[in-house]
């Protein structure tokens, strides 16, 4: 167990391919304020080489600890998949998409964490208190397909959303009976670029009073510090 704060350096090395030689990561050895932020860039990968191997070594006196990791690049995707059930006119008629938690949309006092709620018509819409909290808060939906949902490529989904907006296909509600029951959504939860969350949702079995759906969300590493 750690007895005192670590005051040494961190040596970081990498190699792009199992048979390559290790080279220093730019900025290594790292020192000063912790945690050490080791840069990882897609530009470091050679053509047709999708795996990068990393070595991180810390030394304190006569003790040395080395951790190895590998990173495999792939097309951008939504990192997380969640599921939910919302029931109209109940304490589970709303939810915070970011932490996948049910919250009553008509709670007293009003709860601005309710990003989506279900209407009496079994359609998803923005939470009333969340929308009222700021003019910047908005959620919009563009109809999509099961195939695009399955392939889970966030760049393609975002491009399809923007194309849908240009075509005037965006709506402020989404229902299980609309099209294939699949939507791309854009939820803006503040003024910073990191406060914009794209995702996709696919409805499951639903009734006149409740809806079930699963959704993919989180296409930026920064989102993973917020989304649970």
DSSP states of 126-155: E-HHHHHH-TT-EEEEEE--HHHHHHT-HH
Residues 99 and 156 in one domain: yes
What residues make up the domain containing 145?
80-225
DSSP letter, residue 106:
T
> Are 45 and 145 contained in the same domain?
no
| 16 inside domain | yes
Q: Flag whether 4 is in a domain.
A: no
Neighbours of 93 (CB within 10 A): 24
CB distance 131 to 166 below 8 Å: no
Token pair, residue 118, equals: 């279900």
Share of the chain above pLDDT 90, in %: 68
pLDDT in tens, the chain (228 residues): 456 777 888 999 999 998 999 999 999 999 888 888 888 888 888 888 889 999 999 988 888 999 999 988 888 899 999 999 999 989 999 999 999 999 999 777 878 999 999 998 899 999 999 999 999 999 999 999 999 999 999 999 999 999 999 999 999 999 999 999 999 999 999 888 889 999 999 999 998 889 999 999 999 888 888 998
The CB density around residue 17, as the number of other CB atoms within 10 Å, is 14
Asked whether residue 139 falls in the same domain as residue 194, the answer is: yes
Nearest residue to 105 (alpha-carbon basis) of 134, 130, 123: 130
Asked whether residue 109 falls in the same domain as residue 216, the answer is yes
Strand order in the sheet with 10-15: 23-24, 10-15, 51-60, 63-72
Is residue 22 classed as helix, strand or coil in its secondary structure?
A: coil
Q: Are residues 185 and 94 in the same domain?
A: yes
Q: Mind listing the pLDDT tens digit for each residue in 110-142?
A: 789 999 999 988 999 999 999 999 999 999 999
Q: Is 181 within a domain?
A: yes
- Confidence (pTM): 0.73
Residue 1 in any domain: the answer is: no
Number of domains the chain contains:
2
Q: Give a yes or no: residue 110 inside a domain.
A: yes
Does residue 96 sit in the same domain as residue 205? yes
Question: Minimal CA–CA distance to 120: which of 94, 86, 84, 88?
Answer: 88
Q: Are strands 10-15 and 116-118 parallel, antiparallel or unpaired?
A: unpaired
Considering the domain architecture, whether residues 65 and 87 belong to the same structural domain is answered as no
Does 93 lie in the same domain as 34? no
User: What are the two backbone dihedrals, phi and then psi, of residue 78, each rounded to the nearest 5 degrees?
Assistant: -80, 125
Instruction: Note whether 57 and 157 are same-domain residues.
Output: no
Q: Are residues 123 and 213 in the same domain?
A: yes
Say whether both 68 and 165 belong to one domain.
no
Are residues 156 and 128 part of one domain?
A: yes
- CA pair distance 99, 44, nearest whole angstrom: 33
Rounded-to-integer distance, Cα 98 and Cα 218, Å: 9
């Amino acid at each position: 167990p750690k007895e005192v704060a670590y005051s040494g350096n961190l040596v970081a090395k990498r190699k792009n391919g199992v048979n390559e030689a290790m080279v220093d990561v730019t900025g290594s050895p790292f020192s000063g304020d912790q945690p050490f932020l080791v840069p990882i860039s897609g530009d470091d990968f050679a053509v047709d080489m999708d795996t990068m191997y990393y070595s991180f070594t810390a030394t304190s006196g006569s003790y040395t600890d080395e951790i190895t990791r590998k990173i495999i690049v792939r097309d951008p995707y939504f990192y997380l998949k969640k599921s939910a059930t919302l029931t109209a006119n109940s304490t589970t008629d709303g939810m915070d998409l970011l932490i996948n938690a049910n919250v009553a949309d008509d709670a007293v006092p009003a709860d601005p964490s309710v990003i989506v709620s279900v209407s009496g018509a079994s359609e998803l819409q923005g939470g009333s208190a969340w929308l009222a909290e700021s003019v910047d808060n908005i959620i919009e939906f563009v109809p999509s397909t099961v195939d695009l949902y399955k392939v889970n490529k966030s760049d393609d989904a975002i491009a399809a959303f923007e194309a849908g907006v240009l075509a005037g296909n965006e709506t402020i509600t989404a229902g299980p009976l609309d099209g294939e029951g699949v939507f791309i959504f854009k939820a803006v939860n503040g003024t910073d670029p990191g406060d914009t969350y794209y995702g996709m949702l696919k409805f499951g079995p639903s009734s006149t009073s409740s809806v079930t759906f699963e959704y993919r969300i989180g296409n930026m590493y920064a989102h993973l510090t917020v989304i649970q």
